[in-house]
Every structure is written in structure tokens, then in C-alpha cells.
Amino acid sequence: MRKGCIQTSCGILSAASVVGKKEKDGPLGSCFDLHSADDRFGQRTWEKAEAEMQRLALNTAMAKGEIDQYAIEAIFAGDLLNQCVGAAYGLKDFDVPYFGLYGACSTAAEGLLLSSLLVSGGLIKRAAAVASSHFCTAERQYRSPIEYGGQRAPTAQWTVTGAGAFIVGEGQGAAALVKGVCPGIVVEKGVRDSANMGAAMAPATADTLLRFFDTTGKKPRDFDLIVTGDLGYEGGDILCELMALEGVDIRDVYNDCGMMIYNREVQDTHAGGSGCGCSAAVLATYLLPKLECGELRRILFLGTGAMMSPQSIQQGESIPAVAHLLCITSKEEKEWTLC
């Protein structure tokens, strides 16, 4: 049988975000905790700037939740850089067990999902999930150095300069509850265009969402919001169509962090935002506060990742993708269950 939803019993105790200037200037700008006016965060390389964002995000989440590092038993972290050096260098001074992840832009969801499972299983009391991306490190590594000024395809997305950190623990006193998770299965449908990652990721997202609905019996109308990490305008549209083909209409409750973080008309970001930091920052300080105050009551959050490398694309390979789902509710929905 194909695997579906796993029920969890835990909550998100605290969360924080750090972003760059463009994100601060966007429609959600006022939500983010910290930002750097020059995207450098006081560092001399872009890579160190990204590492610093991870450190700042976790420190801020700990401070907001008044949680000491010794109360955290595991950090799950990653980013898009080769060998995930944003996370490894940014978090190396925390005296906390460290699990490096590579889930491309699904990293925040992957970390939250594993944190939720370990806390729900009673194996640890508190875990942190951290993820980041930086426009300048990503351009240099995946495309061309920013000084080159390469032209972008209309389907291409803009890598968010941002980081998000979350601390997961027992539900009591949590800002929001994690009711269940549905881990992603890798799906690859032959898309080879690395300037259209929304198209590559949409089928994996539909796969996870359908498995979730199949195994819980829930419907899209049971949720206030179904939000994906960074499918963008192109991939978001494809997801809605793929779901409609399966008889599941999500359009009324669907949105995407990559569509929300920039102003499409004036910020010249083509198909929307992307990068591990996109969904991490938007969930941490835009969506979670809405769940905390009850403006949102039940959401499905899907981190979406495209797992190619520049080399695999050069070698003519297609793009495998994965989408991890979390069902998150407000505290008012304490009695509501998934099954």
C-alpha cells in the first residue's frame, strides 16, 4: 500500500525569520523578524552571509520562545549550497546534536516533519528545524555570478534571501499544533528545464496531497489554506490543474509562499520566489502568527523541492522532486483529529 499520513501530537513552540532587502520591501515585509539592508549581514562572502542568517534565525527563535539551547535535543537543518555549508557553518557553534538535511526547497518542511515525528514518538522533547537560501549564493552556484547579469526566463523563479527557524515541542503552550505529516515520495516526470522548476515540482506535490486526502478522508474544504513552498505562479497553476484532473478542486483554498513573498507587478521576480528560505520565512512569521491568533485554523503546508544539480542538468538528466506535507492547526482545534 502507498504510504500516507502519520498522525503526530506536538506543536511549534516558537519560530523566527531573517530576510534580505528585496523580501523586506515585499508585501510581507513587516512580518519578518530581522533583515539586512545590503543582504550581507555584516559578512565578507555571500556564503558567510547565508550561514549568518541561519544562526540569527535560530537564535531569534530561541529568544522569542525563551528556550535555551540545552533544552533543544536536535537541530535539523539544510540549505541549497553545495555540501549544505550554510547550515553546517551557521549552526556549528550551537552545542546541540545536528542532523544535516538535503531536501532542496523542501528542507524546512523536511526538518519540521522529522522534528514532529521524534517529539511525537517521545524520543526527544524539543527539536529545531532551520533552512535558508540566499539570492547571491544561489545565482553563483546554480546559474551565473550576479555580475554577469544573465537574462531570466519568464518561468524562472527568484531565490529568496531568507532563513526560517522553528522549535518543535510538546503541544502545550505551543503557537500552533502539528496534527499530522505526510512524507514526500520522489516523483520525476521528465521535466528537464531548470528554468521551470515549478513544473518539475508540481507532480510530486500532487502525489503527496492526493496520498494525504486518500488516507485521511479529508477534503480541501476542511482547510482554510493549502499552501505550497515555492511552486510559484507556473507550478501553482499546474498543481491546481493536476489536482482537478484527479477530481480534487483546491483552487479556492490554494496559495504558494513563492507567490506571496514578492509583489509580482513591481518586483520583477517573474514566476515568484523560491529557495529553502522562502517557505521557511513565510511560514515562520506570516502564517504561524495567523494560526496563533486564530485567523487561520487549519492549514496544509507543503515544502516542495527540486533535487537536480547544475551537473545533472548539464548531463541531460531530468529533475526529480519531492514534497513533504504538514497539517498544522491553531490551538483552538485541539480536539480536531485527522482520522
Q: Which chain residues interact with its own copies by CB under 8 A?
A: 1-3, 6, 45, 47-48, 70, 73-74, 78, 80-85, 88-89, 91-92, 94-104, 110, 114, 117-118, 120-124, 183-188, 305, 307-312, 315, 317, 320, 322
The β-bridge relationship of strands 74-78 and 127-133 is parallel
Based on CB atoms, which residue is closest to its own copies, 35 or 179? 179
**CB of 3: closest distance to its own copies in angstroms?**
5
Integer Cα distance of 83 and 135 in angstroms: 17
What are the b/e assignments for 272-310, b being 16+ CB within 10 Å? bbbbbbbbbbbbbbbbbebbbeeebbbbbbbbbbbbbee
Based on CB atoms, which residue is closest to its own copies, 140 or 290? 140
Look up residue 154 and give its three cell numbers.
519568464
Based on CB atoms, which residue is closest to its own copies, 114 or 291? 114
**CB of 317: closest distance to its own copies in angstroms?**
7
Based on CB atoms, which residue is closest to its own copies, 95 or 265? 95
User: Mind spelling out the 3-state secondary structure of 23-55?
Assistant: HHCCCCHHHCCEECCCCCCCCCCHHHHHHHHHH
**CB of 91: closest distance to its own copies in angstroms?**
7
The β-bridge relationship of strands 6-19 and 176-182 is antiparallel
DSSP 187: B
Based on CB atoms, which residue is closest to its own copies, 176 or 307? 307
Q: Could you give the count of Cα atoms lying within 13 Å of 251 in the half-sphere of its Cβ?
A: 9
| Strand (E) or helix (H) holding 326 | strand 321-329
Based on CB atoms, which residue is closest to its own copies, 83 or 337? 83
**CB of 295: closest distance to its own copies in angstroms?**
31
**CB of 76: closest distance to its own copies in angstroms?**
9
DSSP 82: G
Integer Cα distance of 170 and 9 in angstroms: 7
Integer Cα distance of 193 and 221 in angstroms: 34
**CB of 102: closest distance to its own copies in angstroms?**
4
Based on CB atoms, which residue is closest to its own copies, 293 or 339? 339
**CB of 246: closest distance to its own copies in angstroms?**
17
